[in-house]
Amino acid sequence: MTRFAAPIAEQIWDSKYRLKQADGTPLDLSVEDSWRRVARDLASVEADPALWESRFYAALEDFKFLPAGRILAGAGTGRDVTLFNCFVMGTIPDSMAGIFEALKEAALTMQQGGGIGYDFSTIRPKGAPVRGVAADASGPLSFMDVWDAMCRTIMSAGARRGAMMATMRCDHPDIESFIAAKQDSARLRMFNLSVLVTDAFMQAVRDDAPWNLQFGGRIWHTLPARDLWNRIMRATYDYAEPGVIFIDRINRLNNLHYAETIAATNPCGEQPLPPYGACLLGSVNLARLVMAPFSPDARLDMDALDDLVRVAVRMMDNVVDASRFPLPQQAAEARAKRRIGLGVTGLADALMMLGLRYGAPDAVAQTRDWMRAIARAAYLASADLAREKGAFPLFDAERFLASGFMAKMDEDVRQAVRDHGIRNALLTSIAPTGTISLYAGNVSSGIEPVFAHAYTRKVLQKDGSRTEEEVADYAVGLWRELHGDAPLPDHFIDAQRLAPMDHVAMQAAAQEWVDSSISKTINVPRGISFADFKDVYLAAWDRGCKGCTTYRPNEVTGSVLSVSESSEQAPQADRGADVVYLTEPLDRPPTLEGATYKLKFPGSEHAIYITINDIVQAGQRRPFEVFINSKNMEHFAWTVALTRMISAVFRRGGDVSFVVEELKAVFDPRGGAWIEGRYVPSILAAIGGVIERHMIATGFLAGEGMALKSDPKADMIAVGESPRGPACPACGQYGLMMIEGCKTCPSCGYSECG
């Protein structure tokens, strides 16, 4: 009997977390082997490894505790990878040498698989004088472009691209350019952007007061605070970035307020971290702890939750000692503070099992109670660990207990910390759990609502064909097991029908008892008014959130999968799904198969060489890029232009065979030529013929003359159809979901966040 609740879960385990030899031969023969490998490795630092291996295995069993992907994939493998998910890098010096030393550190960190965050506020603004070289500074955004290019070339451990967060203070002179940077959908693709918003700025917005942009003690510009706030809001309304981080609130409530200043977060925002700060993540699966689901006696097993949290804290604390680190500064920082980020997943499913509607007042209250219980258990467990193994090295009882978060903690917890110290400076965080939630049977992700009750997923078979399978939400699947085809109750709400303020209420309730932060995306409808959209951010500020990220479908970033009005139906692609325009091109793999063709057009002095490289997408080989070269310098400009235009079309996806017919239809008024017994009206038509023959040879076209006569999407675009979401770089399927700030593929489980 398989432990997996759905085929997608087993496929995620096999592709991401299963230990294999370099040739692909599995070393973990079952998921139990994976659990045993992780439990044994994390117990190896204990005085009694056998005892704790057994307890750690029990926590992992049946997906009750879900360490983040880095731990599942890396623990016990002996590989030179970090088990930490994310880092904030060192403060960037305002010098050329310092900037590029920081770039090198970033590359080394991403090479081992860590996502990184940076505060670019320390770099002087564009136009500032650079002493000694008689030049003006290019500004922080120019260096962000360098970081972005670096990140594109570094493949993170676990076969995924690195992720980065860039922050900038709301009073930096280049903040307006930072806000507008993502208006160009091709720029800074590897970054999430967030503005560091201060208490003073929010007060200035309330008061409609002027706001100074300054650097190095000099005021560069003054503008109305509301004007700057509206620019932030308009940017994220139009193209989903930047996010907002309430940085003063983060520092004020930080348990380590006396030992560090935070100016950046990890890529998804749930971990505000100091320079060289590192954090590991893990989640308690609340959906697995519900007793008597969907009945009048339904409840969460609070004793089991308490025990699971205590074991999870110990496991994660051991990761600090078991993990490698890309840089020695990161190891020193992690061991001095022993920060961990224990969170939850399956919250929305657990609420549905108890008959509670996500976002309703009773669900908000229940969420607050559960998060408080988790915080209590985690802090008491860490105090017990301190009694056994010692407090974190920078622990200062008086100043730690005076922090904003500890001030509201129950007195018995405060007394335990006072008596024994505490092992971990910070303990709780709610991270994106897209992939591990699929691995656990498609439970709802983090504290997000259920995105859709079910959807259809295409599965690539060994012979290259694709079959379809339904992927149901965990709670929906359990309901069907218990109640057959009975209609879903009204409280089974999904993200498509949820009011934005319900999102805010849930995030704020959870944040009360989370000492770090929360990764959450507030999905809002395309038609929301700008005024209502701004109110979401003000509500997040007023209710105590540490940040706010929204997603509104738009022309720059595309839209998420659409879901039919019937909650029982799967998300459906937009009409015209055979041809989809990508909002961003697919990343180029390191190697591609292709062929080079020599074309000698009569009357031309030099031959033209046409190279066509292909990519395998959805089991089919298809053209990905073209290179057209000739020694004839008269051809140089148009061959370069044609190379770029055709390659851009090929990379957008869909049936691009119409390119062949468009080229073959071009005639030269000076006359064409006879080639191999047929009349070709122009050299461009001859190039079209070469591309056609290549498409036939690779199976993309069935035969000559069978290409589309025109772009099948052109008419739809003319009347303003919204683009769908981008294609998955792993499997090629279209319509990535935006969940918790991460693009997540419903077809293969790929996530930019791990």
Catalytic residues: 266, 268, 270
| CA distances in angstroms from 101 to 89, 95, 108, 114, 332, listed in the order given | 11, 10, 11, 18, 19
Residues contacting 568, CB < 8 A, separation 6+: 453, 454, 487, 488
What kind and span of H or E run contains 193? Answer: strand 191-197
Please check whether residue 284 is in contact with residue 308, taking contact to mean a CB–CB distance below 8 angstroms: yes
Region at 665 (left for phi over 0; alpha for psi -120 to 50; beta for the rest): alpha
Which residue intervals of 208-282 are DSSP H helices? 225-239, 247-253
Closest CA to 247 of 202, 192, 292: 202
Contact criterion met (CB below 8 Å) for 260 and 272: no
At residue 738, the 3 state secondary structure works out as strand
* Cβ count within 10 A of residue 223: 14
Tell me, rounded to whole angstroms, the distance of Cα 457 from its chain centroid: 20
Among 99, 113, 44, 107, which residue's Cα sits nearest to residue 76? 44
Q: Decide: helix, strand or coil at residue 160.
A: strand
Element (H or E) spanning 96, and its range?
helix 96-111
517/502 Cα distance (integer angstroms): 18
599 phi and psi angles, rounded to 5 deg: -120, 115
The answer to whether the CB of 146 falls within 8 A of the CB of 123 is: no
Helix (H) or strand (E) holding 169: strand 164-169
Omega of the bond leading into 296 within 30 degrees of 0 (cis): no
Q: 540: which 2 tokens?
A: 């997040």
Helix (H, G, I), strand (E, B) or coil at 87: strand
Give the side-chain half-sphere CA count within 13 A for 558: 23
Residue 679: partners with Cβ closer than 8 Å, 6 or more residues away: 672, 673
Tell which residue, 59, 122, 118, has the closest CA to residue 90. Answer: 118
The sign of the dihedral angle between the CA atoms of 626, 161, 59, 447 is: negative
Long-range contacts, stretch 479-482, CB < 8 angstroms, 24+ apart: 479/294, 482/293, 482/294
Strands 742-744 and 737-739: antiparallel
Beta strand ranges found along 39-159 (DSSP E): 65-67, 86-88, 115-119, 129-130, 135-136, 155-156
Can you name the residues that pair with 617 across neighbouring β-strands? 620
Tally the residues of the chain.
754
Do 323 and 83 meet the contact criterion of CB atoms below 8 Å apart? yes
Separation of alpha carbons 717 and 36, rounded Å: 53
User: Could you tell me which residues come within 8 angstroms of residue 347 by beta carbon, excluding any fewer than 6 positions away?
Assistant: 286, 367, 370, 444, 446, 447, 448
- Please state the φ and ψ torsions of residue 269, each to the nearest 5 degrees: 90, -5
